[in-house]
């Protein structure tokens, strides 16, 4: 049943499920017979749900690692540009790396992570995002695999939050306007 705070369901759980099967197949085909193993790095927290569903359809053996990137308010201000917090468990040098995130918005987070991981000299580096908001991009970053293009609309569910909430919803939706005016 739909959460009452949700105004409109944009992507149903079933739509998401079938697209994930397609992306997983594309990723499998890309790596099949080419690599022994990949290191899949998920960007916390938002990508947890997408990653959990995606990896269960990947046939390429993988090691899972996580990265946390600081949230930022105004991405045009270098003082608040995204920063990688902590370090990876894995040594990615000469390894095949796949970065997974929930949404490519301005592109600043992915650009930063790609640049930092590239500096560690992986054998290859690919990116996969659940959602892409092309209208919001502030650079020319493009993911190698992307689940859905969506318009510039605030969405929650399937890992994405508003003030820490709604990540657990199995679908993607927009919030009732009244939610934004409530005291949290």
Q: Which residues are catalytic?
A: 105
- Quick one: CA dihedral 135, 139, 140, 145, positive or negative? negative
Please tell me whether residue 50 adopts helix, strand or coil conformation. helix
Min dist CB 103 to ligand PRP, Å, is 5
Q: Are 112 and 139 in contact (CB under 8 A)?
A: no
How many Å apart are CA 159 and CA 179, to the nearest integer?
18
Q: Is 98 in the site for ligand PRP (CB under 6 A)?
A: no
Q: Is 53 in the site for ligand PRP (CB under 6 A)?
A: no
Choose, by CB under 6 A, the member of 10, 54, 99, 104 that binds ligand PRP: 104
Tokens, residue 42: 């998920």
Min dist CB 69 to ligand PRP, Å, is 6
Choose, by CB under 6 A, the member of 16, 41, 60, 103 that binds ligand PRP: 103
Tokens, residue 27: 């990723």
Candidate segments 4-12, 20-28, 34-42, 102-110, binder of ligand PRP by CB under 6 A? 102-110
Smaller CB distance to ligand PRP: residue 120 or 137? 137
Min dist CB 34 to ligand PRP, Å, is 28
Smaller CB distance to ligand PRP: residue 24 or 155? 155
How many Å apart are CA 3 and CA 11, to the nearest integer?
14
Residue 165 DSSP code: B
Which residue's structure tokens are 């908001």?
133
Min dist CB 61 to ligand PRP, Å, is 26
């Amino acid at each position: 049943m739909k959460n009452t705070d949700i105004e409109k369901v944009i992507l149903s759980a079933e739509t998401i499920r079938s697209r994930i099967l397609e992306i997983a197949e594309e990723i499998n085909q890309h790596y099949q017979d080419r690599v022994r193993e990949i290191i899949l790095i998920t960007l916390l927290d938002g990508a947890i749900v997408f990653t959990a569903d995606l990896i269960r359809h990947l046939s390429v053996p993988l090691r899972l690692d996580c990265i946390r990137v600081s949230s930022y308010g105004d991405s045009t201000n270098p003082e608040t540009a995204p920063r990688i917090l902590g370090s990876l468990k894995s040594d990615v040098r000469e390894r095949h790396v796949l970065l997974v995130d929930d949404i490519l918005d301005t592109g600043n987070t992915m650009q930063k992570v790609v640049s930092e991981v590239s500096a560690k000299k992986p054998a290859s580096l690919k990116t996969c995002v659940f959602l892409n908001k092309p209208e919001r991009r502030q650079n020319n970053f493009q993911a190698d695999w992307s689940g859905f293009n969506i318009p510039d609309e605030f969405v929650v569910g399937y890992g994405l939050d508003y003030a820490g909430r709604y990540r657990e919803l199995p679908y993607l939706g927009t919030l009732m306007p009244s939610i934004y005016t409530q005291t949290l």
